Amino acid sequence: MQNSSLRLNKFLAERLGVSRREADDLISSGKIKVDGKTAKIGAKVDNSSKVCYNERTIPFQTDFLYLAFNKPVGYVCSRRAQGDSPTLYDLLPAKYQKLKTVGRLDKNSSGLILLTNDGNFAYQMTHPKFRKTKVYEIELDKPLEPLHQQMISDYGVMLEDGVSRFKIIRDNSTQLPSSGYTVILTEGRNRQIRRTFAALGYKVTKLHRTHFGKYELGNLKPKKYVIIEP
């Protein structure tokens, strides 16, 4: 690696997956040290610098890795098991245990989940301003009323954290059951799809993600992964 300097806030944004403004906030809070000294706004670092966040060293040179994984139902995305629920990390080789998930799928959801050690990639995939499209195949406990479908797609449904709006497609040429739909979402709020349908009296009985940005699940089998390019 060339011994070129890099602005500290850019370095932190790339490694920690935060915005540069958030990186500046970390620096201002005194939580960042460079070569043992509390960092200042506007500082620069290079590959000879020792950068620490909360006493943890952040490596300057990192071999970034990106995985696409088909998460099965019943597994959580956290590193630690939750009660009797295992974690998806139980299904990955030890060499990938330190990768972080890009967003999450809840225990009862399945499909495409991305993992990486590239904080900047994770930030660009998940921050609302980038509006990454995500596609899900879902099933409800009963067919969706046309009025409710129009309401969600055109006007949105008010939730406790704001209006939820997404596109719903019912393609009768597919193999989806009568209560099955395709949902196209550009937001990423916690359990947004489930909460939106619940607000109208429906229960999501299946939620399977097939696309995330430019990445798609394709023929990847459950519990399997592939290395992808950013």
Instruction: Measure Cα distances from 196 to 51, 113, 204, 219 in Å.
Output: 43, 21, 10, 29
Q: Is residue 16 part of a domain?
A: yes
Q: List the beta bridge partners of residue 71.
A: 111
For residue 177, the model assigns a pLDDT of: 63
> CB under 8 Å to 106, separation ≥6 — which residues?
76, 77, 191, 194
For residue 173, the model assigns a pLDDT of: 54
Q: Is residue 1 part of a domain?
A: no
Kindly give the residue spans of alpha helices, DSSP state H, lying in the chain: 8-16, 20-28, 119-126, 146-150, 192-199
Q: Is residue 10 part of a domain?
A: yes
Neighbour count for residue 160 (Cβ, 10 Å): 6
Q: Is residue 17 part of a domain?
A: yes
Q: Is the dihedral of CA 28, 10, 33, 59 positive or negative?
A: positive
Instruction: Answer for the pair 79, 57: CB distance below 8 angstroms, yes or no.
Output: no
Q: Is residue 199 part of a domain?
A: yes
* pTM (two decimals): 0.80
Q: Is residue 166 part of a domain?
A: yes
137/114 same-domain check: no
> CB under 8 Å to 159, separation ≥6 — which residues?
189, 192, 195, 196, 199
Please state, in angstroms and rounded to a whole number, the distance separating the CA atoms of residues 74 and 109. Answer: 8
72/104 same-domain check: yes
Catalytic residue positions? 106
Q: Tally the domains of the chain.
A: 3
For residue 176, the model assigns a pLDDT of: 62
CATH number of the domain that 174 lies in?
3.30.70.1560
pLDDT tens sequence for the chain (230 residues): 445 788 999 899 888 878 888 899 999 999 999 999 999 999 999 989 999 998 889 988 778 899 999 999 999 998 888 888 999 999 999 999 889 999 999 999 999 999 998 888 998 999 888 999 999 999 999 999 999 999 999 999 999 999 999 999 986 655 666 789 999 999 888 999 999 999 999 999 999 999 999 999 999 999 999 999 98
Please state, in angstroms and rounded to a whole number, the distance separating the CA atoms of residues 202 and 178. Answer: 14
For residue 50, the model assigns a pLDDT of: 93
105/142 same-domain check: no
For residue 120, the model assigns a pLDDT of: 84
76/24 same-domain check: no
User: Which structural domain, as residue segments, surrounds residue 95?
Assistant: 66-126+219-227
CATH number of the domain that 71 lies in?
3.30.70.580
Q: Is residue 173 part of a domain?
A: yes
Domain boundary among 15, 37, 58: 58
